[in-house]
A and B are shown apart, each in its own frame.
Chain A
Amino acid sequence: MAQLDTGGGAQGGKGKKRAKKASTAIDMTPMVDLAFLLLTFFVLTSTFSKPKVLRMIFPEKIDKNDPAMKAPEVKNGLTILLTGENKIYYYKGSLRPETELIETDYTKDGIRKVLVESNLDLLTQLKGFQEELNKIDEKDTAKTNAINAQVTQAQKDSKLVVLLKHDKKATYGNVIDIMDEFLIAQIAKYFKVDDDMAEMEKKLIADYQSRG
């Protein structure tokens, strides 16, 4: 075991008799045992990764009875309706009685493809900016800032507006998944609509599901 050896005690011989030196070696086995026990404990209990967070901002509530507050007309809109059983329905443009819903899901080829295709304009622009950023020197702050300003402007000018609605059957996991998809597809303008879906949208879903 680990021990300190300081040359041992006096060994027989001639000469004056010295006082017997006590050995300074201590048995360190228990201490080492304890050290390893603690080591194992801390290795097994420590958590390195802190939980991650997804930020959501909820603006002030709008008083619906206030005549000055009109719902803005959304022209290039994509409305996503979340419902139970991990189903997603969406439609483009504004809601009309003849609107056809399209069903999709949470997979890579589902809603992500729809979002990426709808947002292709902005995505290509952003990709171009990123390439420019990669080319220039990192220390060139003036140029970097200029490009970042262009990025902000492009996001501001983005025509696509995504609206997210849910009904009583949609789960929290569904909403977080969709929010995450918005981040992945780098959608610049998306809104979580406060209340449940409109009656017409509920009816459209019911119709779609009854058709099978």
Chain B
Amino acid sequence: MPKVKMPKSSPSLDMTPMVDLAFLLVTFFMLTSSFKAPEPVMVDPPASTTEAEIPKQVFLVAIDPSGRVFVDITNNAVKTQVLTKLLATKKLGLEGQDLNKLVGAGPLGMSIKQFPEYAALESSEREAFNQSVRGIPYDTTSDVAKIKASELYLWAYHARLEAHNDFNAREAEAKKRNLDFDKSQYMQFAIKADFDVPYTLVEKVINVFRQAQVKQFQMITDLEDTPEI
């Protein structure tokens, strides 16, 4: 019986479709992914069944397990204004480049006096610095005058003011250009606290914000399934 000769096929195969697909996926992931903002503190939030998503513009208050308060503003224009105002209250000032560095440095958890020092640090040195800071100072008594003198109150007060100005400016700009304006883009206050933080502490922080006329808070939580009742 003659041997059946298998036709010799070339070992190289056409990979064009695979490569096409690979590039398609790369493009998709590049365009859709958003990077996690750098977080100086590890916070493990509790879970809830709500499905509301975090608003785009937030004033984020992070409270770590040891009770330190870190804040961040997602809108850089507002953050720049707020930082300038805060520095002015302590008769300090930062120039363009340094101010930009501070704005881009993510959440801040130090007193205003330490801002220039933090802005001068390299990004690799910031982590160690954040380990040593004591969080934004705030008053834990219920004395209104003392609360209003605390730095956290200044943050809340100026952020609310600047967010309002920024919102109005954007609305005016949109009107001038005849564009639609999304009214939901108003800055909201979000709290991300660790599961194990005593609630009394969170309440004290909230009380500072309530003095600054902030009444609504978005508590950041992990998602869990809604049970049947």
Contacts and interface: CB of A to CB of B under 8 A. Distances in A.
Interface residues of B, number: 57
Contacts of A168: 198, 200
Chain A's interface size range is 35 or more
Contact of B33 (A32, A42, A82, A196): A42
B100 interface: no
Interface stretch (B24-32, B116-124, B131-139): B24-32
Contacts of A176: 46, 48, 219, 221
B29 A183 contact: no
B210 interface: yes
Contacts of A28: 19
Contact of B32 (A46, A60, A166, A172): A46
B226 to A, nearest CB: 7
A200 interface: no
B26 A52 contact: no
A163 interface: no
Contacts, number: 155
B223 to A, nearest CB: 5
A54 B221 contact: yes
Contacts of A36: 22
Contacts of B47: 180
Interface string A191-212: 0001010000000000000000
B168 interface: no
A133 interface: no
B185 to A, nearest CB: 16
17 contacts: A1-B12, A2-B16, A2-B18, A35-B22, A42-B26, A51-B53, A52-B51, A53-B219, A55-B217, A56-B216, A166-B199, A170-B198, A172-B201, A173-B196, A176-B221, A183-B50, A184-B229
Interface of A: 1-2, 28, 32, 35-36, 38-39, 42-43, 45-47, 49-61, 82, 108, 112, 116, 123, 166, 168-177, 179-180, 183-185, 194, 196
Interface of B: 12, 14-16, 18-19, 22-23, 25-26, 29-30, 32-36, 45-55, 63, 190, 192-203, 206-207, 210, 215-223, 226-227, 229
